[in-house]
Structure 1
Amino acid sequence: MIGKLLEIRDLDVIIHGRKLVDSISFALAPGETVALIGESGSGKSMTASAIMGLLPPGITMAARSAIVFDGKPLDPADETAMRPLRGRDISVVFQDPMSCLNPFMTAGAQIDEALRRLGHGDGTKRRARILELLQLVEMSDPATIASRYPHELSGGQQQRVMTAMALAAEPKLLIADEPTSALDATVQAEILALLRRLQDRLGNAMLFITHDLAAASQLADQIVVMHKGRCVEQGPTAEVLLSPKDPYTRMLVSTRTMLAELPATAPRSSAEPLLAISGLQYEYPAKRLFSKPFRAVDGISIAIAPGETLGILGESGSGKSTLAKLIIGLARPGGGDIALFGESLAARNFRLTPAMRKRCQIIFQNPYGALNPRLTIEKAMREPLELLGLSGPDDRAKLGSALADVNLTPDYLGRYPHQLSGGQRQRVCIARALLSEPSLLICDEIVSALDATVQMQVLRTLKALQQKRGFAMLFIGHDIEIVRWVSDRIAVMHRGKVVEQGEAGALVTHPVEAYTRKLVAAMPRPIA
């Protein structure tokens, strides 16, 4: 193909005779963006690793496969040939900037390291180039940002620093591997817009790897849909998203459409709230001698009726997870009160009784971290029964029934967490939380780490169980569409305060407060 910067022909990536990537072919022109779309495990990142010559040990590229970059064949296995290309002609921005940035080096020092590897020997020129690169990625105060360590930067700032490092040599090809999946909606919108502006300014081609169709629709000229290592469909973005031909592509497109089809909301109950919070406050201690404590929860007042779902919507750092910890008794408030099941916790020094703990359960964000890797699913599920005094001779039948409720078979009891997918692990966590038949279930970002199709499977399971058992839910999230789909009412948190609350559909379609309007405006919208 004439005029193509990157050509992939019949790419096979193999481990122990098994193909992780199977016969992938696509091309990328200068200044063009191609999005690799697919769920976790579809082979997207493995394709990028093959291009960069960074395949893990034991994983190889088939002899028939061909990668041509800027008119020259690449041999990714030839480290001597690949090393001069990386960070110069081909750069990559990874998914989680905090795990990629050195916590012991300032942002400026890390960009300086990239410049020194590119051969920039003059220190004065490097310092000027560092500020220039931070300005390029639209940092408002480059000098201050350069002096900060990664933990002192927000997620969006960390990702901008990573992007500045990747663009140091003004590469011809930028590979962006899920660069926004770990970010809040508003920050994601900022990074997507930044990548587009940088591409317009620098003229680089971009391989954008994502599982978010809406994000791809904003950036990509072409889309390549991957499923189980194979390309099932590719073409112009509008054509693929508006008229998908392959059943798998149609499923991906329809998954996000399902969020517009809201389930029936629970009628408002006049019964006494299961949970009533009034004027709640919590401060994290000062980190330094003369610094001030950080107020994470600042005068919050909310209530949840029996059978109702209240969504807590906000960005990272807004105080959502701290609020959950205060309710469940994992932290002690500094002021205000929590009335749980009609009983004041302030009067009990915010200590939950065993009966309260039985009726109030929590599901955490990371299902793999919530399950002991050394315990089988059966042993992990038996723990709460024993701790809550619910264990009996029929435990195994009870556990099997709980798994059936979340559409898992009893044979999963003998498996370990690493033998389950992310969605299956989260279903186990849901089943475990419901073993005590709680009246209130707290869900803290329980689908944020899952693919879109798996998200919908878990959410539908959760709503069906709620309709069957009648428990109330406090559903915490930062994805507006998901929180709206699950919730009857939504409370929006910002910097420790509830800035707006109301009926879910009305709050999203007609937000009143400026911050809520900002969140709604940042929602990625696929091609319509």
Structure 2
Amino acid sequence: MTATTELRDAPIDAAGHRAPSAAASDRTPGDPRAVPVLEVHDLGIRTGGRDLVAGVTFSIGAGRTLALIGQSGSGKSMTAAAIMGLLPPDVTVSAETRIELDGRRLPHADDGAMRAFRGTALAMVFQDPMSCLNPFMTVGAQIEEALWRRGVVDPVVRRERSLALMAAVELPTPESLRRRLPHELSGGQQQRIMLAMALAAEPRLLIADEPTSALDASVQAEILALLARLQARFGMAILFITHDLAAARRLGHEIMVMRHGRVVDFGAPRTIFTTPRHPHTRALVAVREMLERPPAPRRSAGTPVLEIAGVGFDYPPRRFLDRPSPALREVSLTLTAGRSLGVIGESGSGKSTLAAIVAGLKTPISGDVRLFGTSLAAHRFALPRALRRRVQIVFQNPHGALNPRHTIATAMREPLDLLHIGPRRARPERVAEALGWVGLDPDLRLRHPHALSGGQRQRVAIARALLSEPDLLVCDEVVSALDATVGAEILDLLRRLQAERGFALMFVGHDLEVVRWIADEIAVLADGRLVEHGPADRVLVAPASVAARRLVEAGRRADQPSDPAK
């Protein structure tokens, strides 16, 4: 149990900050929480004379999970990095801070001494497993390397234990999977490999930093359930960092809410959801309530904007003599003007591949795509110049879509220059106007992408796509990496802009509530095939296909606490 239960009754100052709770060392010796697995007291983190985190106090007991939520920049990941001793060199921890593991103060001032804790008593799983796994080593070898660092020198023992760890994280056919490279595994399998590597250390504390945000509903539910089972089996404490309230409710025994580097709310999931005390927490809960309410009906079907007929696509073989990997097979869809099509499916089902084909970024091996009545097959699936300005795509990662060396003004002016839209002298003014469309200060155009938040960068990407006044906007997982409140703002922005401009929207996503809220109709992909297509409410309320039922059931499980008492 966390040490900050007292936080619920602590006073709130004029700025809305709640006073930190008493340290565990101040409790009576007979209190069973007197020596938690992790205790963080008065954590303060500064850089350049500015407080990033201030006055954060909490603890986690064995077999308990503290879910830490908050907006981007609230200090969640910075808190985790401070515990692990992984803060950047220009960031300092205050002298009053005390971080203890099993009653022993962690030696953060001595990096060499901290290495003895990292990967042993402390382990961490990050959001993007592909960026953490070595692309040139098999996953089995990477688990064995973690065991070797743990002191397991016998190669036969390492191999047996690596297979046992893969079985513990419920990977199928460990003997076969251990010989694969990371890119040959799905996102859910990659995350399980990261969990296996973390468990190799037999940690007392596992920090999971956004481990499910990029996963589809069914895989997310599997990972959350797996974490709960692993915790019950190994008895470790878990600090679960997320921006997904449903995931926090599912896994957390307690939920701690951070804003601007401070703890603003704390309590059991049931309390946080029913009686949130801080305005920011109430805003987070309101987002959930907004998504649960279906939006007002939009315009009815009109002229076809997009017609997909029997499209198939193969990825080239990875090795010599290998066969191509099928990604899409005989997919047929139609989207009309002013309507929104949601595309859902498990990881690897072909959603993003279909979006790339519609945007002219990939060439199918069969079938045809007609945009505004024009067959792309006749143009070898390269968008003709006349269509380029009418079809635009917004990607999941806006930071990767914006050139880090260019200012926002330069990045946004690029489509105007390439498509020869408007007089050259009027383009700077048009860029400033477009920033206003998405609710951004025009002065931001002078900044570089790194100086903007994730939500601001995504708004810039949307504004850049709208500069060409498209008739079809393709959005590929545009809110999956954003926190709840910012994601809700982006969704509301898209719906408002669509109502104003009348463009058709193809929205690829894995959060079923988000897709249901914004889509008029939903297409379900499974193993590269279209298995269901119909009105959003019908597909997600009474799904007819096995794949759709699996996704809906996974979404329902993810929204329920793993412990009914929470």
Cα pair distance change 1:81/1:332, threshold 3 Å: closer
- State yes or no: 1:26 paired with 2:26: no
1:51 aligns with 2:83: yes
Query: Does residue 250 of structure 2 align to residue 218 of structure 1?
Result: yes
Cα pair distance change 1:171/1:255, threshold 3 Å: same
Structure-1 residue corresponding to 2:328: 297
Q: Measure how far apart 1:138 and its partner are.
A: 1.4
2:390 is aligned to 359
Asked if the contact 1:382–1:391 (Cα under 8 Å) also holds between the matched residues in 2, the reply is no
Relative to 1, partners in 2 of residues 1:383 and 1:80: Cα closer, same or farther, differing over 3 Å?
A: closer
In structure 2, how many angstroms separate the alpha carbons of the residues matched to 1:358 and 1:80? 56
The letter of the residue matching 2:411 is A
**How far 1:424 sits from its partner (Å)?**
1.3
The Cα of 1:265 is off from its aligned counterpart by 2.6
1:92 and 2:124 aligned: yes
Say whether 1:102 aligns with 2:127: no
Residue number in structure 1 paired with 2:559: 525
Q: Is 1:316 equivalent to 2:347 in the alignment?
A: yes
- Corresponding position: 1:375 with 2:409: no
In the alignment, is residue 73 of structure 1 matched against residue 105 of structure 2?
yes
Q: Report the Cα offset of residue 124 of structure 1.
A: 2.2
Task: Name the SS for the 2:294 alignment partner.
Answer: coil
CA distance in 1, matches of 2:124, 2:320: 40
The residue that corresponds to 1:506 in the other structure is: 538
Alpha carbons 1:265, 1:487 under 8 Å: kept:
no
Please name the residue that 2:548 is paired with.
516
Match of 2:19 in 1: none
CA RMSD, Structure 1 to Structure 2 (Å)? 1.8
Worse-matched range after superposition: 175-184 or 394-403:
394-403
Q: Do structure 1's residue 202 and structure 2's residue 234 form an aligned pair?
A: yes
**Structure 1: how far apart are the matches of 2:68 and 2:478?**
25
Contact 2:72/2:453 (CA < 8 Å) preserved in 1?
A: no
- Whether the 8 Å contact between 1:272 and 1:342 is mirrored in structure 2 is no
Q: Following the alignment from structure 2 to structure 1, what is the Cα–Cα distance between the partners of residues 516 and 491?
A: 12
Alignment match, 1:240: 272
What is the DSSP-based 3-state SS (H/G/I as helix, E as strand, rest coil) of the residue aligned with 1:57?
coil
- 1:283-305 superposed Cα distances (whole Å, 9 cap, x missing partner): 22333332222222211111111
1:457-476, aligned counterparts within 5 Å? 457-476=489-508
> 1:218-264: CA deviations, max 9, x gaps?
11111111111101111222212221101111111111221112222
Shift of 1:80: 4.2
Q: Report the counterpart of residue 389 of structure 1 in structure 2.
A: 420
Matched, 1:350 2:384: no
Give the counterpart letter for 1:220 in structure 2: G
Q: Secondary structure at the residue paired with 1:330?
A: coil
Q: 2:470 aligns with which of 425, 438, 447?
A: 438
Whole-angstrom CA distance in 2 between matches of 1:85 and 1:382: 49
Deviation at 1:64, TM superposition (A): 1.0
* More divergent stretch after superposition (423-432 vs 518-527): 518-527
Distance 1:139 1:284 in 2: 24
For residues 37-57 of structure 1, the C-alpha deviation after alignment (integer angstroms, 9 at most, x for no partner) is 112221112212222222221
The 8 Å contact of residues 91 and 173 in structure 1, kept in 2 or not, is answered as yes
Structure 1: runs of 5 or more not aligned: none
Give the distance between the partners of 2:47 and 2:441, measured in 1 at CA. Answer: 30
Residue 159 of structure 1 corresponds to: 191
Of 303, 307, 331, which aligns to 2:338? Answer: 307
Note if contact 1:54-1:76 (Cα within 8 Å) is conserved in structure 2.
no
User: Does the 8 Å CA contact 2:186/2:348 hold for their aligned counterparts?
Assistant: no
Letter of the 1:38 partner, please give it: G
The yes-or-no answer on 1:186 pairing with 2:218 is: yes
What is the SS of the residue equivalent to 2:292?
coil
Distance 1:61 1:342, change over 3 A: same
Q: Which stretch of structure 1 is more off in the superposition, 186-195 or 417-426?
A: 417-426
Going from structure 1 to structure 2, the CA distance change for 1:436 and 1:94 (only over 3 Å counts) comes to closer
Contact in 1 for aligned 2:72/2:454 (Cα 8 Å)? no
Q: Contact 2:205/2:236 (CA < 8 Å) preserved in 1?
A: yes
The 2-side partners of 1:398 and 1:172 are apart by: 55
- Residue 398 in structure 1 maps to residue 407 in structure 2: no
Match in the other structure for 2:146:
114
> Aligned partners of 2:229 and 2:296: how far apart in 1?
41
- Counterpart of 2:17? none
Instruction: Name the CA distance, whole Å, in 1 between partners of 2:104 and 2:451.
Output: 42
CA offset at residue 322 of structure 1? 1.9
Q: Summarize the Cα distance change of 1:48–1:349 in structure 2 as closer, same or farther, 3 Å threshold.
A: closer
Letter in 2 for 1:147: R
Residues 407 and 85 (structure 1 numbering): CA distance in 2 closer, same or farther, change over 3 Å?
A: same
| Residue range with higher mean Cα deviation, 447-456 or 375-384 | 375-384
Distance in 2 of aligned mates of 1:54 and 1:472: 45
> Counterparts of 1:9 and 1:161 in 2: how far apart (Å)?
32
Residue 469 of structure 1: how far off its partner (Å): 1.0
- Percent identity, aligned pairs only, is 55
8 Å contact kept, 1:106–1:147? yes
Partner of 1:83: 115
SS in 1 for 2:276: coil
Distance in 1 (CA, whole Å) between partners of 2:138 and 2:269 is 39
Encode CA deviations 1:375-420: one digit per residue, 9 max, x unaligned.
Answer: 2222222221222221314323322222211112221222222222
What count of residue pairs does the alignment treat as equivalent? 527
CA drift of 1:308 comes to 0.7
Which residue does 1:40 correspond to in 2? 72
- Partners in 2 of 1:293 and 1:80 — Cα distance? 47
Whole-angstrom distance in 2 between the partners of 1:81 and 1:345: 61
Deviations 1:421-465 (A, max 9, x none): 111121122122122222111112222221111111111111101
| Partners of 2:311 and 2:201 in 1: CA distance | 50
Structure 1: distance between partners of 2:361 and 2:85 = 46
Specify the code of the residue in structure 1 equivalent to 2:53.
V
1:339 aligned to 2:370? yes
**Separation (CA, whole Å) in 2 of partners of 1:143 and 1:353:** 49
TM-score w.r.t. the length of structure 2 is 0.89
Q: Which of 271, 285, 310 is the equivalent residue of 2:316?
A: 285
Decide whether aligned partners of structure 1 residues 110 and 463 sit closer, same or farther in structure 2, where only a CA change above 3 A counts. Answer: same
Is the partner of 1:282 in helix, strand or coil? Answer: strand
Using the TM superposition, give the Cα deviation of residue 488 of structure 1 relative to its aligned residue in structure 2, in angstroms. 0.5
Q: Which amino acid aligns with 2:546?
A: A
Partner Cα distance (1:346, 1:320) in 2 = 20
> Would you say the 8 A contact 1:186–1:519 is kept in 2?
yes
Instruction: Give yes or no for contact 1:297–1:497 (8 Å, CA) kept in 2.
Output: yes
CA contact (8 A) 2:139 2:181 kept: yes
Q: Is the alpha carbon distance of 1:215 and 1:389 closer, same or farther for their aligned partners in structure 2, counting shifts above 3 Å? A: same
Distance 1:82 1:514, change over 3 A: same
Asked if the contact 2:186–2:347 (Cα under 8 Å) also holds between the matched residues in 1, the reply is: no
- Cα distance in 1 for partners of 2:244, 2:306 equals 35
1: CA distance between counterparts of 2:289 and 2:53?
Answer: 29
- Partner AA of 1:477 in structure 2: G
Distance 1:112 1:301, change over 3 A: same
Residue 526 of structure 1 and its aligned partner are, at CA, apart by 5.2
Q: Give the match's secondary structure for 1:41.
A: coil
1:149 equivalent to 2:181? Answer yes
Match of 1:11 among 6, 20, 43: 43
